[in-house]
Amino acid sequence: MNNEYQALLATLRDDESTVVEGWLDEARISEPGVRRSAQAEATDILRLLREALQADGDPARFEAPVWTPLRDMLANLSRTRAAKGQSAGETSLFVLSLKKPLFEALQRRMAADPVAMSSALWALSTTADKLAQHTVGTFQLAREEIIRRQQEELLELSTPVVKLWDGVLAVPMIGVLDSSRTQMVMEALLQKIVETGSELAIIDITGVPTVDTLVAQHLLKTVTAIRLMGADCIISGIRPQIAQTIVHLGIDLQGVQTKATLADALSLALKQTGWRVSRSSGVSADV
- Using the 8-state DSSP alphabet, how is residue 277 labeled? E
Q: Report d(CA 255, CA 234) in Å as an integer.
A: 10
What is the predicted pLDDT for the residue at 48? Answer: 92
Please report, in tens digits, the pLDDT of each residue of the chain (287 residues total).
566 688 888 888 888 899 999 999 998 888 888 888 889 989 999 999 999 988 876 788 888 889 999 989 888 888 888 777 777 778 888 888 988 998 999 888 888 888 888 888 888 888 888 888 888 888 878 877 877 777 666 666 657 888 888 899 998 887 777 777 777 888 888 899 999 999 999 999 888 887 778 878 888 888 888 999 889 999 998 888 888 888 887 877 777 888 989 999 999 888 888 877 777 765 555 55
What is the predicted pLDDT for the residue at 157? Answer: 60
- Rg of the chain, C-alpha, whole Å: 32
What is the predicted pLDDT for the residue at 154? Answer: 64
Q: Report d(CA 223, CA 215) in Å as an integer.
A: 12
Sign for the pseudo-dihedral over CA of 125, 129, 132, 138: negative
According to the CATH classification, is domain 162-276 in 3.30.750.24? yes
Q: Report d(CA 9, CA 5) in Å as an integer.
A: 6
What is the predicted pLDDT for the residue at 10? Answer: 87
What is the predicted pLDDT for the residue at 2? Answer: 60
* Total residue count of the chain as it appears in this document: 287
The HSE-up count of residue 159 (CA atoms within 13 Å, CB side) is 24
What is the predicted pLDDT for the residue at 134? Answer: 85
Q: Report d(CA 11, CA 120) in Å as an integer.
A: 11
Q: Report d(CA 158, CA 181) in Å as an integer.
A: 10
One-letter-per-residue 3-state SS of 93-126: HHHHCCHHHHHHHHHHHCCCCHHHHHHHHHHHHH
What is the predicted pLDDT for the residue at 128? Answer: 87
Domain ranges of the chain: 3-153, 162-276
According to the CATH classification, is domain 3-153 in 1.10.15? no
